[in-house]
Structure 1
Amino acid sequence: MGAVRETLDAVRLVDHHCHGTVAADLGRDAFESLLTEGEAWPGISPFDSPAGVAVRRHCAPLLDLPRHTPAEEYLARRSELGRREVQRRFLRAAGTDVFCVDTGYAPDPLTTPREIAEAAGGTSYEVVRLEGVAESVQTAGVEPDAYADTFRTAALEAVRRPGVVAVKSVAAYRTGFDLDPARPSEVEVTEAARRWFARGGRLDDPVLVRHLLWTAVDLGLPLQLHTGFGDSDIRLHRADPARLTDWLHLTAGTIPVLLLHCWPYQRQAAYLAAVFERVYLDVGLTLHHVGPARAGGVLAEALEITPFRKLLYSSDAYGVAEFFHLGALAFRQGLAELLQGRVDADELSLPDALRIARWTGRDNALRVYRLEADGPEDD
């Protein structure tokens, strides 16, 4: 093991974007549905995917099973231990001290930020999903001409809760980034709200999504944006972060913008981070889906031109605790191989490589979110 890997293994990670795990014991169908961003197809098991293979290879030993154990034996042992013990083992193995938890997506009851922190022996913070705030305003009932002010007030109340450190938008899912970058007028917002209220459903009006993004700027907290890879609800070609360029010009110098996941657009995200002072990126979610074997390739593309203070770590773990462990493992292994290779080729000094490893795994997130590792753990 090289010096870079030893350093990365010792770094207590900051997972700047993740979710809770399902707060129930999972049968095979439910577990397999959480292994994939796609749908379960008859006769095709998500265990027969890069993520499924990585679970059997790298997670089985933490359940006292041999590497590559069959799926049936893996699930039987998982059930025998129970979800709380499984979560404790994988969260402790991840070596993560700090979790920034997106609480805005919960089709099933999930563990809370506090429960994640307690299982890991670390600290948790909350990320507020702004689409959820907007939809709560709409559900509660408000006149269209009062929507903008009511949403702003509700968003301010949400971000003032103890432990909230950032906001997030899933505009990539709702409209994509082919949006007029300008702040919409009050008249435009009122008319769009009128249309939305008459139609109902989730927030997917382009004017109101623009209004949401500009409200995020006004709130002043770091803004996380889903980009790239996601489930079938997304239109991938519209989730290219480069489509945000004009909006980033208009908002330059305001808030930090964190581009999440990015694959297959990690190079476009790297360009944005290289040319805009307050743009950052990660390749979370991607890493546990490609597995440790390919993590280095994804990270290499992300780091081709990204300033070293601009790349952060996230797992984007959701639903199953295995993804906290796999995300951390793939990140450490992939980044160590990349940096050690540059050291061995005399393209990077060892002190620089060790500094980059600590920045990326921990220090960059602490700086951007102004976090204290032993801060609040409020739900």
Structure 2
Amino acid sequence: MRDDLPPLIDHHCHGVVRRDLDRAEFESLLTEADGPGPLGGTLFDTRAGLAVRRWCAPVLDLPPHASPDDYLARRAGLGYAEVNRRFLASAGLDALCVDTGFNPDGLLDPGELGRLADATSHEIVRLETLAEGVAARAASADAFPDAFREALAERTRNAVGVKSIAAYRAGLDLAGERPDDREVIRAAGRLLRESDGAPRRNPRVDDPVLHRFLVWCASDLRLPVQFHVGYGDADADLRRGDPLLLTSLLSELARANTPVLLLHNYPFHRSAGYLAQVFPNVFADVGLALHGVGDRASVLLDELLELAPFGKVLYSSDAYGLAEFYHLAALLFRRALGRIMEEGVSEGSWTRDDASRLAGLVAAGNARRVYGLDRPE
């Protein structure tokens, strides 16, 4: 079954670095934290670090479980360009949907990633990044709503979806109602001005009204909307990242027939599975957490699939920074899904034909349908 899976569609991922990394830089990208600290020891002593040594070392012509020093020396000897080529090529992807909204290090762009992976590449536009750019140029708060609508329509002309990071800024307890322009203008005024009335130099969207406005603008354009959920770096208050908090908004977006993609979800993946079952427009993945938990990936995916229909679960790597994560997430996902399907066949829960069909949906078919990737360009 693992070898029978079709090429994957990675429906949420990022660019990777285009430079060589020293050990501290490499370890800092192994985690959602700021990096290794003197009290915590090396991040190679995590399930993610151990999985890199086990499954990524052979791609660099090293034996499985090569030591961190040997691994990093071989990586440096090959150079970042060859490392990126090998890991993207080995992921077995048919398409990538790339979030371009966070790029502090001049990461590879969607086209470059697609060429290395021999896959088609598509862009996901981050709503807050676009809104902050519009706000920085806005002549006044009154002009913000229409200026954002126009900018979003233009920016997503060739994109397949958008992403919200409300979980990082205001939390996911967002009301379902569409805010009117008067509310948006008041919120935009707060965004554009400091508390003393002076112009704000670097506008930062963190108002629930604005997050709702951005999402509804995307809905009006009939774009799928991704939400970061749960597991992330220390900037995310996990207490406000439970997808159940989105229930009111999901209900209203269902009326508008807007697809919603819940990303990552750990440790709320069972809640995400419930939402994917009860709302016709909700889909979920366990991206990012998959390579984070290493050899526990099949447990995580199996728990999501307890309630989530097979037709509502997608594959994503959330690969960022390290090309290793494209290879590692794909490999762990294939192993996890293959194990789940084989166990179901052996226990008589489904037939082998069912297993092949359902695995194909999760691997690629669902993403192709939700994002309309079969539509002619």
TM-score, normalized by length of structure 1? 0.94
Residue 184 of structure 1 pairs with residue 186 of structure 2 = no
Residue 270 of structure 1 pairs with residue 273 of structure 2 = yes
Residue 42 of structure 1 pairs with residue 24 of structure 2 = no
Ranges in structure 2 where 5+ consecutive residues have no aligned partner: 195-199
Residue 82 of structure 1 pairs with residue 91 of structure 2 = no
- Superposition deviation, residue 264 in structure 1: 0.7
Question: Deviation string for 1:27-46 (max 9, x for gaps)?
Answer: 11111110000122125221
2:225–2:260 Cα contact (<8 Å) kept: yes
Counterpart among 17, 26, 34 of residue 22 in structure 1: 17
Provide the residue aligned with 2:161 in structure 1: 166
Question: Deviation string for 1:52-102 (max 9, x for gaps)?
Answer: 111011100110111111111111110111111111111111111211100
2:176–2:251 Cα contact (<8 Å) kept: no
Provide the residue aligned with 1:124 in structure 2: 121
User: After alignment, is 197-206 or 31-40 more displaced?
Assistant: 197-206
Provide the residue aligned with 1:314 in structure 2: 316
Provide the residue aligned with 2:60 in structure 1: 63
Structure 2: how far apart are the matches of 1:246 and 1:333? 36
1:7–1:357 Cα contact (<8 Å) kept: no
- Superposition deviation, residue 142 in structure 1: 2.5
Structure 2: how far apart are the matches of 1:248 and 1:179? 10
Structure 2: how far apart are the matches of 1:29 and 1:230? 20
Provide the residue aligned with 1:147 in structure 2: 144
Counterpart among 248, 254, 259 of residue 256 in structure 1: 259
1:94-133 correspondence runs (5 A)? 94-133=91-130
Letter aligned with residue 28 of structure 1? R
Letter aligned with residue 151 of structure 1? F
1:156-235 correspondence runs (5 A)? 156-160=153-157, 162=158, 164-199=159-194, 200=200, 201-235=203-237
Structure 1: how far apart are the matches of 2:11 and 2:179? 30
Letter aligned with residue 38 of structure 2? P
Structure 2: how far apart are the matches of 1:230 and 1:5? 29
- Calculate percent identity across the aligned residue pairs: 51
Secondary structure of 2:193's partner? helix
Structure 2: how far apart are the matches of 1:142 and 1:268? 42
Structure 2: how far apart are the matches of 1:142 and 1:207? 20
1:56–1:69 Cα contact (<8 Å) kept: yes
- Superposition deviation, residue 181 in structure 1: 2.2
4+ runs of 1 displaced by more than 4 Å?
none
Letter aligned with residue 224 of structure 1? Q
2:229–2:262 Cα contact (<8 Å) kept: yes
Q: What root-mean-square deviation, in Å, do the aligned CA atoms of Structure 1 and Structure 2 show?
A: 1.3
Secondary structure of 1:124's partner? strand
Provide the residue aligned with 2:197 in structure 1: none
Provide the residue aligned with 1:244 in structure 2: 246
Question: Deviation string for 1:170-192 (max 9, x for gaps)?
Answer: 11111111222211122211111
Structure 2: how far apart are the matches of 1:170 and 1:23? 25
Letter aligned with residue 148 of structure 1? P
2:10–2:95 Cα contact (<8 Å) kept: yes
Provide the residue aligned with 1:328 in structure 2: 330
1:345-364 correspondence runs (5 A)? 345-364=347-366
User: After alignment, is 361-370 or 177-186 more displaced?
Assistant: 177-186
Provide the residue aligned with 1:289 in structure 2: 292
Secondary structure of 1:288's partner? helix
Structure 2: how far apart are the matches of 1:93 and 1:85? 12
1:128–1:166 Cα contact (<8 Å) kept: yes
- Superposition deviation, residue 372 in structure 1: 3.5
